[in-house]
């Protein structure tokens, strides 16, 4: 995680932690053409964060889970010589990323002092069950939150990254899942397993 967090902070630095005006323009929420269009479809109700990030639920996560479910415990545990992580370890690493950035840092469901206990899941079912519990919290937040809230500064527990926007946090966690899902697809191919078609 440390390597990923450092990379995240470098990347966030380039985006100025999602500071309004340098992000994707959500600060113009009421005036954004997409926001107006969706609001019109909703009968004037505000565009929700879920309207922007629904593909996490409909595409990204189902394909991630589908890929993992295609593997036996032995295939999940396999890694080629010199490679750092098995598919199972990558899956836990992705769950950890969502837990750290959204569940803990941003939404504070657990205190910032909480730490992830690595290697505690005996099998894929238990890992996926806990990961889904975390993700339900993320999805509920997305469904409850107008996009106007995405650009708000949230304090972060890092001296070198004192705040970030939820816009940046969500994008980062999704991008991280896409990145490591590609590695899982590679590990599947190397074992003669077809990954799901995207």
Decide: helix, strand or coil at residue 109: coil
Q: How far is the CB of 141 from Ni ion (least distance, A)?
A: 22
Return the H-helix or E-strand segment holding 190. helix 166-190
| Pairwise CA distance, residues 39 & 146, whole Å | 11
C-beta closer to Ni ion: residue 4 or 193: 4
C-beta closer to Ni ion: residue 47 or 96: 96
Segment contacting Ni ion (CB under 5 A): 1-9, 22-30, 52-60, 157-165? 1-9
Of 115-174, which residues contact Ni ion (CB under 5 A)? none
C-beta closer to Ni ion: residue 2 or 58: 2
Q: How far is the CB of 36 from Ni ion (least distance, A)?
A: 37
Does the protein bind Ni ion through residue 178 (CB under 5 A)? no
Decide: helix, strand or coil at residue 153: strand
Query: CB nearest Ni ion: which residue?
Result: 4
| Pairwise CA distance, residues 175 & 12, whole Å | 13
C-beta closer to Ni ion: residue 29 or 172: 172
Of 4-33, which residues contact Ni ion (CB under 5 A)? 4
C-beta closer to Ni ion: residue 4 or 65: 4
Q: How far is the CB of 21 from Ni ion (least distance, A)?
A: 29
In Å, what is the CA distance from 185 to each residue of 58, 88, 121, 122? 19, 12, 21, 22
> 99 near 116, Cβ under 8 Å?
yes
Q: How far is the CB of 180 from Ni ion (least distance, A)?
A: 6
Other residues' Cβ atoms within 10 Å of the Cβ of residue 53: 20
Q: How far is the CB of 63 from Ni ion (least distance, A)?
A: 18
| Pairwise CA distance, residues 147 & 94, whole Å | 25
Q: How far is the CB of 56 from Ni ion (least distance, A)?
A: 17
| Pairwise CA distance, residues 105 & 101, whole Å | 5
Which residues contact Ni ion by CB under 5 A?
A: 4
């Amino acid at each position: 995680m440390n390597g990923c967090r450092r990379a995240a902070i470098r990347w966030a630095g380039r985006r100025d932690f999602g500071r309004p005006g340098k992000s994707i323009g959500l600060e113009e929420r009421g005036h954004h053409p997409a926001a107006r269009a969706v609001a019109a479809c909703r009968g004037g109700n505000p565009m929700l964060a879920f309207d922007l990030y629904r593909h996490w639920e409909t595409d990204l996560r189902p394909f991630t889970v589908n890929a993992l479910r295609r593997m036996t415990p032995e295939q999940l545990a396999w890694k080629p010589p010199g490679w750092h992580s098995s598919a199972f370890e990558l899956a836990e690493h992705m769950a950890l990323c969502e837990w750290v950035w959204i569940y803990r840092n941003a939404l504070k469901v657990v205190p910032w002092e909480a730490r992830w206990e690595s290697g505690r899941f005996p099998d894929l079912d238990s890992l996926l069950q806990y990961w889904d519990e975390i993700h339900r919290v993320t999805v509920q937040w997305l469904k409850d939150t107008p996009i106007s809230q995405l650009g708000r500064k949230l304090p972060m527990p890092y001296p070198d990254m004192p705040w970030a926007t939820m816009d940046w946090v969500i994008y980062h966690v999704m991008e991280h899942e896409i990145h490591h899902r590609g590695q899982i697809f590679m590990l599947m191919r190397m074992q003669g397993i077809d990954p799901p078609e995207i």
